[in-house]
Amino acid sequence: MELLEIYPIPVLIIDYILGVIMWTLLGRFVLDLFIAPDNDMVIARVFRQITNPVIRFFKRITPAFLVPILVPVYVAWWFYMIRFYVLPLIFFNQFGTLSFPLENDLVKLIFGG
């Protein structure tokens, strides 16, 4: 069964946007583990330019005691929670309805099906 048959297009668009942001934040965390913050590699610079506005937006709710390298994971966790709890509640008025359409499509693309 196709995702368009299961979910309305606005749900898919919002989930894809939130999913890409979440995975980009996690990618930045992984890069920061191996690449120094002052390193000027193109990929690290691009990930920082993309994720810095999102991290700044969440700065007010980010605990001050959090180690700086973990901030992208913390913000990604918020996107995960929004995708898992808030989207189904808003669009379907129940929890557990939305099962990550972005990841579902990626698995189908990679492994066929």
Residue 3 has pLDDT above 80, yes or no: no
pLDDT at 84: 84
- Of the chain, the percentage scoring pLDDT greater than 70 comes to 89
Residue 97 has pLDDT above 70, yes or no: no
> For the residues 32-42, what does the mean pLDDT come to?
89
Q: Each residue of 25-34: pLDDT tens digit?
A: 999 999 999 9
Residue 96 has pLDDT above 70, yes or no: no
pTM of the model: 0.83
Query: How would DSSP label each residue in 22-64?
Result: HHHHHHHHHHHHHS-TT---HHHHHHHHHHHHHHHHTGGGS-T
Say how far apart CA 104 and CA 17 lie, in whole Å. Answer: 14
